[in-house]
Structure 1
């Protein structure tokens, strides 16, 4: 009950700047302190995009969502007062992950991008020459910003990336595709996580009961794809594991404000519930 009260107060404070209903929220100040990082799962109608912010290091974007959600992406970045994006990490060649990359360059001066060779092949010649490309590989360790580390766990044949995002003692597992063999490998590592980004928009037979029991996530996030329906069996297993499921496209952007050994969850409803 105490935790719930803290989250409700946080949401209320952040929304004080709104002039009327949900859709009128124009800007959000997360009041980030030193060595505090915000991870926001953006509420795009179609596609996946995750925003990382810190007081010292600005912003990094992981995926850009579908081009059908271009204005939503730009509006959310403005809402969170993002002035500069220097780094972009792309984890899948599908349009729902990369569709706004070229559009993003009209608004932000991206200097560096991280992607697998499979994802780059899908882009062909569409990456401007001035952007520094870093090819990511399995078992590689990356530092996207201070206090934000990435461990590449798997890259599929098509270039889809599964990785662990670590912030202090908090681990966020970003599953790239439905892969039961990979789930078994992660489960056998004995590593628990706070947050699970569900693979492939909640499709298929992923997120097995054994996998969920092993990683024991407190919350899960499912983005939306226009051609993929969330599997009822996946939702059933998440519910059975007592994992809180968040759908940004339904409830609004979901922000984790993380500092060392704790985090707060903040939801910002920016449009009508879908």
Structure 2
């Protein structure tokens, strides 16, 4: 009995190994949102059953090998677009490399690209999205550009069928009010901004958006705000700290979604 108890304590004392996403065969009315667990920064893949692949952010240079390995594991050999929600080194550090490797058709952003995010004069065209615009990426998949705090920031609201994902680019409290005033939106999934280091989202904003799932990307040398994490849990939101849970996939059809981790 003592040996079994010791083995049990050993098992629960160590975090589980990260599980990379694997290639999935999607029906034409399905899509996946893949939140990559990486050493540093954020990147999310959107893959549809109609053969379209989009990468939201490209993480930092420290995550290059991990990101390329996971994209290969999923079976990605071409990306239609890269979407950059801001121009920090932890969100766009591998843009140039990925544009070359995956024959990216377009790089989408909210302002002129700075050197840190440069696509190095490759053939991918640059596309600037403006606040309030609604874009259809693929049948059933659309995205609205939400208010932002700066020219290069671009918070987004993705919709696939009846499932919505709010992808926040800034953790400033003022942004919450701008979004609430302009677009009183509900979302099943919310990507927490600034690696959950700030006070946002507030309880009021969470009550307005009413998310069921929250995603938190890791940032090297930084820890999430414990008060914010506690607030998310107290709001009955399922929190995925990707550093601990590993790469996490949300599978959607036109009616519902399922979290796979």
TM over 0.5: yes
Match of 2:74 among 68, 77, 80: 80
Match of 1:68 among 56, 59, 62: 62
Structure 2: give runs of 5+ residues left out of the alignment: 1-15
Residue in 2 aligned with 1:148?
A: 141
Runs of 4+ in 1 over 4 A off after TM superposition: 122-126
Counterparts in 2 of 1:74 and 1:187: CA distance versus 1, 3 Å: same
1:130-182 Cα shifts (integer Å, max 9, x gaps):
21111111101122233221100123225111110111111100011112222
Deviation at 1:90? 0.7
Deviation at 1:93? 0.6
Q: Distance in 2 between matches of 1:32 and 1:81?
A: 13
What does residue range 257-268 of structure 1 map to in structure 2 within 5 Å? 257-267=251-261
Deviation at 1:224? 1.0
RMSD: 2.1
- Partners of 1:116 and 1:155 within 8 A in 2: no
Residue in 1 aligned with 2:154?
A: 161
Q: Distance in 2 between matches of 1:99 and 1:129?
A: 16
1:221-247 Cα shifts (integer Å, max 9, x gaps):
000112432111211110111101002
Report whether the alignment pairs 1:226 with 2:220. Answer: yes
- Partners of 2:166 and 2:190 within 8 A in 1: yes
What does residue range 203-242 of structure 1 map to in structure 2 within 5 Å? 203-242=197-236
1:30-62 Cα shifts (integer Å, max 9, x gaps):
221112101100111111000011121231111
Report whether the alignment pairs 1:173 with 2:173. Answer: no
Structure 1: give runs of 5+ residues left out of the alignment: 1-20, 268-274
TM-score by length of 2: 0.87
SS at match of 1:71: helix
SS at match of 1:221: strand
Q: Distance in 2 between matches of 1:84 and 1:60?
A: 9
Q: Distance in 2 between matches of 1:202 and 1:64?
A: 18
* Corresponding residue pairs, total: 245
Q: Distance in 2 between matches of 1:126 and 1:26?
A: 27
Report whether the alignment pairs 1:137 with 2:137. Answer: no
